[in-house]
Amino acid sequence: MSMDVYLKKMEDELRLRRYSPKTIQSYTSCVGEYLRAKGKDFEKVDIDFIKKFLLAKVDKGVSAQTTNQSLQAINFFCWNVLGYQGKIDIKFAKTPGKLPIVLSHDEIQAILKAIINKKHNLMVALAYAGGLRVSEVVDMRIKDINLAELTIHIKGAKGNKDRITILPEKLIENINQLIANRDFNDYTFASERGGKLTTRTAQMIFEKALKKAGIQKDATFHCLRHSFATHLLENGVDVRYVQELLGHANIRTTQIYTKVTNPMLRNIKSPL
């Protein structure tokens, strides 16, 4: 079979398992690169070749995260497309233990103050208030918001999981103004051209506001989610509840935020 046939089989298997469009694109791209490097005998699983392929990436200075994604995609291809039954004994690369970038309460307010457009302002405020990913914000529909219970139903999030998160009472009036006389199936933050805003548009709105607010941190839209989690922990919310609100499968993922909220560290004075 040709490489294109294998890639189509790969895409079909990913779609059957309800992987997100972004993951499908990433995985098929990784496997396409792997098959082009292989050149022939696509149906054979050569562990030594896979190792050499990944080592070539390391030698080029590719990040550990990207190398790991290639390995995950190749594993999926071998097991689910080729039907390989053996063990692919290749360890994942160790990724750097970077701490999340967190914005302070004052910085969040400065960012919101810098966004004049009411719809865009509400979008950023809601992302922070509910700990939402940028994709979850643009995919949100009016029917997903429950103003009576102050909750947002996030549907088909990362890992195709649903979850419930919170929204503050202070945003009710602004939300009502935005959704007035609109169909409940509409996207909450609809594009002026119809449909939903793109994730890139949302990111650009945040980046422009960050710059306008004069904040020097290397922050992205996703840092609103980091800040949500950190501020909840600072307010004494149990890490298990934060885990549920963020939709983390493993509590260890949530516990990374405890490293930037430790009050004992803040009370220690430098000996200088």
**How far from chain centre, in Å, is Cα 7?**
25
* pLDDT value of residue 265: 66
Q: Is 257 among the catalytic positions?
A: yes
Instruction: Give whole-number Cα distances, 114 to 103, 186, 190, 205, in Å.
Output: 15, 27, 21, 10
User: Tens digits of per-residue pLDDT, 72-82?
Assistant: 999 999 999 99
Three-state secondary-structure class, residue 217 = coil
Of the candidates 119, 153, 212, 222, the residue annotated as catalytic is 222
Query: What integer is the mean pLDDT of 224-245?
Result: 94
Overall residue count recorded for the chain in this entry = 272
Element (H, E) at 179: helix 172-179
Q: Is 182 among the catalytic positions?
A: no
Of the candidates 158, 163, 208, 212, the residue annotated as catalytic is 158
* pLDDT value of residue 9: 93
DSSP 154: E
Nearest to 246 by CA among 262, 227, 263: 227
Give the span between the Cα atoms of 125 and 106, in whole angstroms: 13
Considering only 47-56, 60-69, 127-136, 263-272, which range has the smallest mean pLDDT? 263-272
pTM for this one?
Answer: 0.76
Nearest to 140 by CA among 200, 204, 184, 203: 184
Residue predicted with more confidence, 199 or 20: 199
Q: Is 222 among the catalytic positions?
A: yes
Considering only 146-150, 156-160, 180-184, which range has the smallest mean pLDDT? 156-160
CB 123 within 8 A of CB 111: no
Identical fold at 3-81 and 105-267? no
CB 158 within 8 A of CB 247: yes
Give the span between the Cα atoms of 15 and 112, in whole angstroms: 38
Q: Is 133 among the catalytic positions?
A: yes
DSSP 117: S
Query: What integer is the mean pLDDT of 226-235?
Result: 94
Three-state secondary-structure class, residue 21 = helix
Give the span between the Cα atoms of 73 and 28, in whole angstroms: 7
Of the candidates 19, 34, 128, 257, the residue annotated as catalytic is 257
Please, which residues bridge with residue 141 across strands? 187
Of the candidates 6, 120, 133, 226, the residue annotated as catalytic is 133
Of the candidates 141, 196, 225, 226, the residue annotated as catalytic is 225
Q: Give the DSSP letter string of 44-58.
A: S--HHHHHHHHHHHH
Give the span between the Cα atoms of 190 and 182, in whole angstroms: 11
Q: Is 105 among the catalytic positions?
A: no
Query: Residue 216 corresponds to which tokens in the numbers above?
Result: 């020097």
What superfamily in CATH does domain 3-81 come from?
Tyrosine recombinase, N-terminal domain (1.10.150.130)
What superfamily in CATH does domain 105-267 come from?
Intergrase catalytic core (1.10.443.10)
Q: Is 153 among the catalytic positions?
A: no
Q: Which residues in 9-28 are b (16+ Cβ under 10 Å) and which e?
A: ebbebbeeeebeeebbebbb
Query: Residue 127 corresponds to which tokens in the numbers above?
Result: 């992302």
Of the candidates 120, 226, 231, 248, the residue annotated as catalytic is 248
Query: Any idea where the domains of the chain sit in the sequence?
Result: 3-81, 105-267
* pLDDT value of residue 30: 94
